[in-house]
Amino acid sequence: MTDDEKLHEEAEEIRKETAEGSPEVAEHDRVAELEQQLEEAKAKVLYAAAETQNVRRRLEQELQQAKSYAAAGFARDMLAIKDHLDRALAAVSEELRADKTAAQFLAGIEATARELEAAFQRHGVTRINSVGEALDPHRHQAMVEMPSDQEPGTIIEEMQAGYMMKDRLLRPALVGVAKKPD
């Protein structure tokens, strides 16, 4: 124990002995102790109130996110169906479109594709623009580089459409990007 600590202990003992004989000093010490406890309690209450406010704010934000993006998984699953419908419609020849029976069948498939597109629009699902745009790694996934006269890094082919749900990526667009000719 250092000399300062010994002196501090002796002073504290003398104070206690003096306080025993003097009720004013004991009362003053008790009041000081209670004031200290009150300040500590106030600090704890303020901390707890701030923490409660932070938790409430975080939960409200998470609830809002959950409401906004609850359908994201379902929408992502529906993209495969949209892809199949689009490929089926793109593969239909003019000869088949001229056939009366096939044309009625195709009209039903086209109506289904339009209804799916309308449902996407109602829920904030939009197609990502790709061809002619600069490659954005947050929205596009480059699958191949192709020699081109266009500016390197410009998207020149889209292999699969990408989609956003509001401001969140559902699926990146799979694209071919221009590079300088060899």
| pLDDT tens, position by position, 61-110 | 989 888 777 788 888 889 999 999 999 899 888 888 888 888 898 999 99
Positive or negative: CA dihedral 117, 118, 123, 128:
positive
> How confident is the model over 5-18, as pLDDT tens digits?
888 788 778 767 76
Q: Tell me: the pLDDT tens digits for 168-177? A: 899 999 999 9
* pTM metric for this prediction: 0.62
**pLDDT tens-digit profile of 17-48?**
766 666 676 677 788 889 999 999 999 999 99
pLDDT at 55 exceeding the cut of 90: yes
Q: Give yes or no for residue 2 having a pLDDT over 90.
A: no
Tell me what pLDDT residue 25 has. 66
